[in-house]
Amino acid sequence: MKFDLFTAKAPPLFGLDISSSSVKMLELADNGKGSYRVERYAIEPLPRDCVVDGNINNLEAVTDAVKRAHARMGTRTRHVAMAVPSGAVISKKIIVPAALREEELEVQVESEANQYIPFALEEVNLDFQILGPSPDNPEEQEVLIAATRKEKVEDRVAVADSAGLKPLVMDVESFAQQSALSFVVQGLPGGGKDQNVAVVDVGANVMNVSVLRNEQSVYTREQAFGGNQLTQDIVNRYGMTPDEAENAKRTGALPDDFDTEVMKPFMENLSMEVQRALQFFFTSTQYHAVDHILLAGGSAVIPGLDEVVHTRTQVPTSVANPFALMQTSPKVQLKRLMADAPSLIVACGLAMRRFDPQ
């Protein structure tokens, strides 16, 4: 059975991103001339350990958060695009003859998938997307295969179903992120053409680093460092419980020495992790430079973080905001959207699936 990892369907839909710390929903509308308008969005925090390493451990709590977010967002739309974590997906580019018919292509994809996927094919959801002609031979084409264990898809479908939503598209988080970031990269000098753009996505537990070049990912790496490290630092410094620390982080109710004693060292550590990630990129690829760093994820909004990373790496650094050139509906608070933007990137990429060519 193929679950739809790529193909879009006709009805309006919104993006639903389930991360380890929160549920994020975003709905876009067509603003004409290839531009979008942010109609509405909602972010609902998740209790600790509901989602760990992309695995939904507490279906009921996640479903409740999805229901609350949907009610707050106030949309009639019930169709959603969701994503499985990039780490749960095996993807591989293959080259096939350009003249293959659809049925022949499916057979070829299955036979190639058998070689790369360490599970029986009946245990996985498999899909493919034709990327275009092979750069080396016009009689061949590049095809991207993506496969994930069925339970990763089924858990997310179960959450949507339980919340009264209808999942139409199942994407991959890294692909959704790339779609949303295409707006940001176009705004870089020279439209980002022929440049290495490092995307540093700082989640709750993990920092994902991917390097994009001409809208293709040329490198990815995960490092065990995230926003929860800051929560732990607050716990250690001030004797709070993890929940109290998380709440203090959100509301800003922290002691006077917080900036110098906790936040500054955390930002320095984060910038060192970014520098390490870039070193790994240089030693494992043919590239020796990065032209720009984009910060994404919940921690990206820490004031001054972009400057700290820039100072450490000597690479121009900015906070990724896919909404900078979009219109917003009157229902959306612009200031809040700009603050939330780095953590809404996957949700934005998923919401864009509404406009895929049919």
DSSP string covering 287-306? ----SEEEEESGGGGSTTHH
Q: Which of 133, 150, 167 is the last residue of a domain?
A: 150
222 and 309 co-located in one domain: yes
Cβ(157)–Cβ(173) below 8 Å = no
218 and 299 co-located in one domain: yes
Confidence of residue 338 (pLDDT cuts 50, 70, 90): very high
What was the pLDDT predicted at 4?
A: 57
Cβ contacts of residue 158 below 8 Å, gap of 6+?
59
Per residue in 59-82, pLDDT (tens digit) is 999 999 999 999 999 999 999 999
Total domains present in the chain = 3
141 and 176 co-located in one domain: no
Per residue in 241-274, pLDDT (tens digit) is 988 888 888 788 889 999 999 999 999 999 999 9
169 and 46 co-located in one domain: yes
- Pick the residue with more confidence: 116 or 283? 283
208 and 354 co-located in one domain: no
Whether 47 shows a pLDDT value over 70: the answer reads yes
199 and 254 co-located in one domain: yes
Q: Determine the Cα–Cα distance for residues 5 and 348; give it in Å rounded to an integer.
A: 16
Mean pLDDT across the stretch 216-221?
Answer: 88
| Number of neighbours of residue 121 by Cβ within 10 angstroms | 12
Whether 105 shows a pLDDT value over 70: the answer reads yes
Own/partner long-range contacts of 337-342 (Cβ < 8 Å, ≥24 apart): 337/38, 337/41, 339/301, 340/41, 340/43, 340/301, 342/295, 342/296, 342/297, 342/298, 342/300, 342/301
296 and 306 co-located in one domain: yes
24 and 167 co-located in one domain: yes
Cβ(319)–Cβ(301) below 8 Å = yes
Helices (H), the chain: 59-73, 102-116, 150-162, 173-186, 228-238, 242-251, 258, 264-284, 305-313, 334-340, 345-351
303 and 250 co-located in one domain: yes
341 and 223 co-located in one domain: no
What was the pLDDT predicted at 86?
A: 84
Q: Which of 134, 150, 166 is the last residue of a domain?
A: 150
Identify the CATH number of the domain in which residue 354 sits: 3.30.420.40
What was the pLDDT predicted at 95?
A: 87
281 and 331 co-located in one domain: no
pTM for this one? 0.88
Whether 35 shows a pLDDT value over 90: the answer reads no
Confidence of residue 1 (pLDDT cuts 50, 70, 90): very low
pLDDT over 90 percentage in the chain? 58
Give the domain extent around 112: 89-150
47 and 2 co-located in one domain: yes
Q: Which of 12, 8, 5 is nearest to 40 (CA)?
A: 12
Q: CA-CA distances (angstroms) from residue 70 to 10, 28, 110, 232, 314? A: 21, 15, 37, 31, 42
| Mean pLDDT rounded to a whole number for the chain | 90
Mean pLDDT across the stretch 211-216?
Answer: 90
